[in-house]
Amino acid sequence: MLPAKLNNNQEPDIHRHKSFHESLCEGYHFEVKNDIKRMGSRSIYYYKEGHSLLISHFFCSRVHVLNLETGKLRWFDHHGSTVRSTGVCNHEIITTSWDGTVGVTGFDTLERRLILTEKGMGRSPDAAISPDNKSVFSYSYDSDKNPDLTSNAIREWNLSDGRLKRTIQLPGTHLSKRRCGYCMVYDDHLFVVSNTGHLHIYNWLTGSLFAEYFCYDQLQSLCLFPALNMLAMAGSLGTIYLCDFSGRLILSRRKAHLHDISQMFVLPDQPEIMISISFDGTMKMWKIPGLELLDSAKVNGDRLWTATAANDLLIAGGDETLTCIYDIKNMHFKLKGMLIFSDESYAIITNSTHSFFTNDQSIMQVRKDIDGTLPDDQLSEYLLHTECNLSVLKDLFNPENNDQPTFLSNNKGFYQITQ
Amino acid sequence: MNTKNFSDYYPVYKDLSDQMKTNTSARNIGVTDHKKNLLTDMQNSETGFSESSAMLNARELTDTSLKLGFSPFQIIILLIKNAFEGHVFLTWQIRPGQLFEKGSFLFQSGPESMIHSFYKNFEKYRPGLNQVWNLLQEKVHGITGISFDLMVHTIVVNNLIRPPVSLVSLYDIRSFSDTLPTNQQAMDHSFKMVLLGEAALAEHEFIQRVNIIYEEKYKKFVHQLSLKEGVFSHYQRKLALSLSPEIKTEEELDDLMYKKLVEEQVNRKYPDSDKYVAGIQLSPETPESTLKFVNKTKAFYRSVSKNCSEIHSAADGESCFPELNSIFLKANSIYNQTVSNLSESLLQFMRMLLLLSEVVIFRKSKGYKISDNLQLIADFNSKQVLPDEELKLLHRNMDTILIDYRQKCFTDYKMKFVMDDDFTDLHNHFLQKQLEYIDQQIIQIQKDIKEVLKLKTDIPISKKDKKQ
């Protein structure tokens, strides 16, 4: 078989020759050591301006900030408990936590500027930012903190000075087996769904209620399609409800997942494509308005809690200790790699497990493919050191290039010495 | 890990020693008896610094400097340098003599600029400096009405800490009049830029040093691999060209290769990289903040060039002055690098500044005359305030530049084999394997080329056969 052939344009189409290091690592694969503590993902957010991922974890107050260009990992531990959601506004990180506070932290300095809370504020699963970037709306399970209160609440905080501007007590009884809720803002509309089964739409400027809808489901996720004059909501039954933007008319409903739908969102550059993730361990890609299923992927056996889109990639995580990275540019899920976090370390391993990058090589080990044994210490260390390459992270998340062959071809090879 | 050829820091004891020598020669050409006795006393004193790297406390240094005839401005620089040397000793137990020999960058498991560390902790030293300034004002007449803060700021942002203080002997301290309006925000921004510049410079120097040491340590393989990489590239290209439809035979292929090679040589403007162009090139929309650094770099480039003049003026200058030749080539390489944004221009400026410090210290140490008009104080009481967004962008871009450079040079990879001697033999073993692997690949690619050409000559025959 020839190493080269003519392509369709009658131009040379050269097969890539393996680099020395690719051949060196043939027959081995790389993995995170079994005894390393791994942290599942509770919330993942891609911050485009800083080309960084913000990740919070289970049973842990730490928020990691991973720079996808430089590979630098930073973190802060400002909250007293699990951080449930992360986002960025005005180059500041907005976090909500089970400790009943909303934190505002400088993205560059990671110094906390504001702690937004008051006495009656319960665990906060989510926050939304006003379109003018001046206010943050926190959702909190106040009923959970004080059982005399049956209602959860939305609070509007002034982002410049942290002042509480308004509290909206949500109608209905929120004391149920499972607490959940979510809010979003669009124009002057504040959309809220809760485990009561209610969708409420407020005018956030005046606090007045525009509309209310009720369904027998513990609603926990919401997705808006203003251009289509539609919204989608979902909850514990795994059903997606498509509703008109006024919140008064259900247009269609579809059983989409086996268990709770924990998050739904629209792809940033494709407003007609929606992603849903579920506790059934799958994520699905839908075309709106017909709710046509484009693709589905089983991420892992456990609950999926969070996902975010970064250019042509989708990063999803949950109870499982692996955070998976999928290429979605061709409207289907193609696994590209996995991210693993452990306190102050992280590793990204490509799908083939033959390339990786980590900020701490001591968390990694190498195994022989053939029998799963570990090579001797010095050879292991040599292989780990040789193969650890920042390009694995950098090229994967490069918006112009996330094809595996490209970053492998840029890997250390023939041209390592004379640079 | 140290292969640095040139010192980038001139310590206080050397400045004092130089001044003493100057005064001694002045004595020989006729100074007063009083001063003669003073100099003799100092040479015999316990703090005799002429040939040692002794450290003085601030009061001693002030008194000694006054006795030696330094200007108040030079004394303030000496005091800052002295505080720096104290910081270095307390932090890393490095004495001024070692600082002079090994330079102001630490190269251990990672890069560290001692000057950057000192500036980061500068506020700790400021009260002490203020006290000595008050003392100095009592001892020297005519230095009232001076803004001490502005003076210290100017010394820091113009990086006067590295070169010998004799270079600023003519600078008038009254330039720092306390009646001058200042802009604290602009001063804060300049200080942040200095911090960033020093940190970036340390990283850049580190990457370069890892390259140099790696090449030195694995010299045999680096050279061979470099040659074989060239051969392999040649055949890769040949294989690509062999696929051109018009190429049927080896002769045609060789002709095409030759033609392409000539075309490439003709079209190639500069040999090293397309990043390099003649002199600093800027678009008309270049922001003022970038232009400021570009202009300072130009001025420093001229100063470095002037201080390397022997390589042009002396017969066989390049061989007689190899150090100056090396500095001059490096200056050109830095100067010719394109800069398109503030971070690139800041890094370029810092590299040129370091080179200027190295060349003047080298000349001073060798007793060569230093070219005048160095324009060391290029940034005086600037009121330019960089928007916060631009400052953040500067940090981000600088990170990106350095990470890219680090990646391009495989610094993280090479570092282990540079620093961990346990891996030297194993790395040598795999480098040998790598050489053998490239040899095999070259043989394989030669076969592939032959196969391609053979296939091309076979195809028409088979087509012909089919027709028949």
**CB distance B346 to B334 below 8 Å:** no
Q: Which of A20, A381, A382 sits opposite B437 (nearest CB)?
A: A20
CA distance A409 to chain B (A): 14
> Using alpha carbons only, what angle is made at residue A239 by residues A238 and A243, rounded to the nearest 5 degrees?
145
Q: Which of A23, A24, A414 sits opposite B232 (nearest CB)?
A: A414
> pLDDT value at position A171?
81
CA atoms of A129 and A148, how far apart (whole Å): 29
| H or E segment and range at residue A14 | strand A12-14
Q: What is the distance in angstroms between the Cα of B312 and the nearest Cα belonging to chain A?
A: 30
As a whole number of angstroms, the distance between CA A365 and CA A361 comes to: 8
Interface contact A71, partner B, CB < 8 A? yes
Task: Order across the sheet with A83-89: list the strands.
Answer: A83-89, A92-97, A102-106, A112-116
Q: Which of B193-207, B227-241, B308-322 has the highest mean pLDDT?
A: B193-207
Distance in angstroms (rounded) separating the CA atoms of residues B231 and A350: 32
Q: Is the pLDDT of residue B381 over 70?
A: no
pLDDT in tens, A198-218: 899 999 999 899 899 988 889
**Per-residue buried b or exposed e for A326-336, using 16+ beta carbons within 10 Å of the residue's own CB:** bbbeeeebbeb
Mutate to test the interface with B, among A28, A395, A414, A415 (most CBs of B within 10 A): A414
Q: Is A265 in contact with A273 (CB distance < 8 Å)?
A: no
Q: Tell me the nearest-neighbour CA distance from A82 into chain B, angstroms.
A: 29
CA dist A57 to A52, B129, B432, Å? Answer: 16, 48, 46
| Closest CA–CA distance from residue B29 to any residue of chain A (Å) | 56
Q: What is the pLDDT of residue A178?
A: 76
Interface test with B, best of A2, A20, A72 (most B CBs within 10 A): A20
B331: Cβ contacts below 8 Å, ≥ 6 apart: B301, B304, B305, B308, B352, B355
The pLDDT assigned to A7 comes to 47
What number is the ipTM of this complex? 0.74
Q: Are B198 and B351 in contact, with CB atoms under 8 Å apart? A: no
Q: What is the pLDDT of residue B467?
A: 46
Q: Which residue has the tokens 């979003």?
A: A184
Tell if the CB–CB gap between A17 and B236 is shorter than 8 Å: yes
What does the alpha-carbon distance between residue A86 and residue A46 come to, in Å, rounded to a whole number?
A: 9
Question: Cβ distance A247 to A233 under 8 Å?
Answer: no
The residue-averaged pLDDT of B268-284 equals: 52
Chain mean pLDDT for chain B: 82
Supply the DSSP string of B340-388, one letter for each residue: -SHHHHHHHHHHHHHHHHHHHHHHHHHTPPPPS--------S------H
List of chain B residues whose C-beta atoms are within 8 Å of the C-beta of residue A20? 433-434, 437-438
Contact A417 B395 (CB under 8 A): no
Nearest CA in chain B to A17: B441
Give the list of residues 6+ apart from residue A300 with CB closer than 8 angstroms, or none. Answer: A281, A318, A320, A322, A324
Closest alpha carbon within chain A to B392 = A108
Q: Which amino acid is at A172?
A: G
**Contact by Cβ (8 Å): B95, B168:** no
Q: pLDDT-based confidence at A412, cuts 50/70/90?
A: very low
Shortest Cα distance, chain A CAs vs residue B355, angstroms: 22
Q: Are A417 and B218 within 8 A, CB to CB? A: yes
pLDDT cut 70: percent of chain B above it: 84
Give the separation between CA B415 and CA A66, rounded to whole angstroms.
23
Residues of A in contact with B239 (CB under 8 A): 3-4, 12, 14
**pLDDT greater than 80 at residue B342:** yes
Cβ separation A417–B236 shorter than 8 A: no
Angle at B287 between CA B286 and CA B288, to 5 degrees: 120
Which residue from B126, B5, B105, B22 is spatially nearest to B70, judged by alpha carbons? B22
CB contact under 8 A, B430 and A391: no
Position B358 scores a pLDDT of 93
If you search the block for the tokens 């030759």, which residue do you land on?
B258
Is the pLDDT higher at B454 or at A220?
A: A220
Distance, in Å, from the CA atom of A387 to the CA atom of A177, rounded to the nearest integer, reads 49
pLDDT at B266 over 50: yes
- Residue B339's pLDDT is 87
A41-347 adopts what CATH topology? Methylamine Dehydrogenase; Chain H (2.130.10)
- Tokens coding A41: 């993902």
The beta-carbon neighbor of A417 closest among B222, B236, B241 is B222
pLDDT of B274 above 50: no
In which band, very low, low, confident or very high, does the pLDDT at B57 lie, cut at 50, 70 and 90? Answer: confident
Residue B116: enclosing H or E segment and its boundaries?
Answer: helix B114-120
Chain B residue with CA closest to A414: the answer is B229
User: Cα separation of B32 and B37, whole Å?
Assistant: 9
User: How close A17 comes to chain B (CA, Å)?
Assistant: 8
Using one digit for the tens of pLDDT, what is the confidence trace for A3-40? 444 444 444 445 556 778 778 888 899 999 988 888 88
A72 touching chain B per CB within 8 A:
yes
Tell me which chain A residue has its CA closest to the CA of residue B241: A12
What gap in Å lies between CA B333 and CA B271, rounded to an integer? 12
Residues of chain B with Cβ-Cβ distance to A17 below 8 Å are 236, 441, 444-445
| Residue B211: both structure tokens together | 């390259």
Distance in Å, alpha carbon of B241 to nearest chain A alpha carbon: 7
pLDDT bucket at A341, cuts 50 / 70 / 90: very high
SS3 category, B169: coil
Q: What percent of chain B has pLDDT over 90?
A: 26
Give residue B337's pLDDT band: very low, low, confident or very high (50, 70, 90).
confident
Closest chain A C-alpha to B290 CA, distance in angstroms:
22
Any residues with CB less than 8 A from the CB of B279 and at least 6 apart, and which?
Answer: B335, B336
Backbone φ and ψ for B111, nearest 5 degrees, come out as -75, 145
Q: How far is A411 from chain B (nearest CA, A)?
A: 10
Nearest residue on chain A to B420, alpha-carbon basis: A382
Task: Determine the Cα–Cα distance for residues A340 and A323; give it in Å rounded to an integer.
Answer: 6
Please give the Cα distance from B234 to B221 (Å, whole number).
20
Q: Do A2 and B426 touch (CB under 8 A)?
A: no
pLDDT of residue B315: 76
The DSSP code sequence of A395-412 is HHTBTTB--HHHHHHTSS
pLDDT of residue A404: 42
CA distance B430 to chain A (A): 9
Residues 6+ apart with CB under 8 A from A213: A198, A199, A243, A247, A248, A250
Can you tell me the distance from the alpha carbon of B276 to that of A417, in angstroms, rounded to the nearest whole number?
A: 21
Has residue B77 got a pLDDT over 80?
yes
For residue A83, pLDDT over 50 is answered with yes
**What tokens does B18 get?**
């130089």
Which pLDDT score, from 0 to 100, does residue B87 have? 94
- Mean pLDDT over each residue of chain A, to the nearest integer: 87
Domain with CATH 2.130.10.10 in chain A: 41-347
Q: A23 — contact with chain B (CB < 8 Å)? A: yes
Write out B124-167 in H/E/C secondary structure.
HHHHHHHHHHHHHHHHCCCCCCECHHHHHHHHHHCCCCCCCHHH
What part of A 365-384 touches B (C-beta under 8 Å)?
378-379, 381-382
Count, residues in chain B: 468
**A135-139, A358-362, B451-455: the lowest-pLDDT one:** B451-455
Would you give the end-to-end CA distance of chain A in angstroms?
33
The pLDDT value given to residue A406? 39
Number of Cβ pairs < 8 A linking chain A and chain B: 99
Q: Which residues of B touch A66 (CB under 8 A)?
A: none
The two structure tokens encoding residue B423: 């891996």
Mean predicted confidence (pLDDT) in B356-360: 93
Q: Which of A8-12, B21-25, B124-128 has the lowest mean pLDDT?
A: A8-12
Instruction: For residues B121-125, give the mean pLDDT.
Output: 92
pLDDT value for A30:
92
| Cβ contact A3–B448 (<8 Å) | yes
* Residue A410: band (very low, low, confident or very high) from pLDDT cuts 50, 70, 90: very low
Residue B176 dihedral angles phi and psi, to the nearest 5°:
-95, 45
**B399-404, Cβ contacts within 8 angstroms, sequence gap of 24 or more:** B399/A67, B399/A69, B399/A70, B399/A72, B400/A69, B400/A70, B400/B343, B401/B200, B401/B343, B401/B344, B401/B347, B402/B200, B402/B203, B402/B204, B402/B207, B403/A69, B403/A70, B403/A71, B403/A390, B403/A394
What is the bridge-based pairing of β-strands A52-57 and A63-67? antiparallel
Cross-strand partners of A266? A274
Give the residue carrying structure tokens 């002709």: B255
Q: What is the pTM of this model?
A: 0.81
Residue A310 has a pLDDT of 93
Q: Residue B245 and residue A10: Cβ atoms within 8 Å?
A: yes
pLDDT at residue A274 greater than cutoff 90 = yes
pLDDT tens digits, A100-152: 999 999 998 999 999 999 988 999 999 999 999 999 999 998 887 777 767 78
Which residues of B fall within a CB distance of 8 Å from A65?
none
pLDDT in tens, B384-396: 777 878 888 888 8
- Report DSSP letters for A30-61, one per residue: EEE-TTS----EEEEEEETTTTEEEEEETT--
Identify whether A289 is preceded by a cis peptide bond (ω within 30 of 0).
yes
φ and ψ at residue A57, rounded to 5 degrees: -130, 170
How much of chain A exceeds pLDDT 70, in percent? 89
- Report DSSP letters for B205-234, one per residue: HHHHHHHHHHHHHTHHHHHHHHHHHHHHHH
- Cα B172–Cα B176–Cα B177 angle in degrees, nearest 5: 110
pLDDT recorded at residue B24: 72
Question: Is residue B466 predicted with pLDDT exceeding 60?
Answer: no
Task: Give the pLDDT confidence score for residue B464 in this predicted structure.
Answer: 45
Closest listed residue to residue A370, CA positions, set A29, A24, A23, A20: A29
- Residue B40's pLDDT is 55
A23 and B395 within 8 Å at the Cβ level: the answer is no
Question: Which has more pLDDT, A130 or B246?
Answer: A130
* pLDDT at residue number B281: 58
- Which tens digits make up the pLDDT trace of A389-398? 898 999 899 8
Dist. CA A308–CA A150, nearest whole Å: 32
Find the residue in B nearest to A2 (Cα). Answer: B448
Highest mean pLDDT among A251-260, B252-261, B284-293: A251-260
Radius of gyration of chain A (CA): 23
- What are the tens digits of pLDDT across the range A364-397? 999 998 998 988 888 888 899 888 989 899 989 9
Enclosing H/E stretch for A239: strand A239-244
**Would the CB atoms of A6 and B423 count as touching at under 8 Å?**
no
State the pLDDT confidence band at B377, using cuts at 50, 70 and 90.
confident
The dihedral built from the CA positions of residue B214, B215, B219 and B220, taken in this order, carries a sign that is positive
A249: nearest Cα among A201, A282, A311, A190: A201
CB distance A222 to A182 below 8 Å: yes
